[in-house]
């Protein structure tokens, strides 16, 4: 995953996702977006500073289990801090 962060003037964090198709179906793409939103909502938003995050997923993310996605996102956010 490619994670970019910028400082935000708002008092809360915002997270956006870029999920290209990579020859996947719309069902697979939407499933991945739902999984990513859930990981961010449960595990990252309570601890994030007021920043704007943009997360761009790579093709391998379509085959990753939820726990691996969570660990990869957490590691990427830790590197930004």
User: Exposed, middle or buried, 32 (CB in 10 Å: 0-12/13-18/19+)?
Assistant: buried
Q: Which helix (H) or strand (E) holds 52?
A: strand 51-56
3-state secondary structure 17-29: EECCCCCCCHHHH
Q: Taking 80 as the threshold, does the pLDDT of residue 81 lie above it?
A: no
In tens, the pLDDT along 20-44 reads 999 999 999 999 999 999 999 998 8
pTM across the whole model: 0.86
Report the CATH number that the domain containing residue 53 is assigned in CATH. 3.30.230.10
| Domain of residue 63, residue span | 2-80
In tens, the pLDDT along 51-64 reads 999 999 999 999 99
Is pLDDT larger for residue 31 or for residue 78?
Answer: 31
Give the chain's domain count: 1
């Amino acid at each position: 995953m490619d994670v970019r962060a910028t400082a935000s003037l708002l008092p809360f964090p915002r997270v956006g996702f870029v999920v290209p198709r990579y020859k996947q179906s719309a069902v697979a793409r939407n499933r991945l977006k739902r999984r990513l939103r859930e990981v961010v909502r449960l595990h990252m938003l309570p601890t994030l500073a007021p920043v704007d995050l943009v997360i761009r997923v790579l093709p391998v993310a379509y085959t990753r289990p939820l726990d691996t996605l969570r660990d990869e996102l957490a590691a990427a956010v830790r590197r930004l801090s």
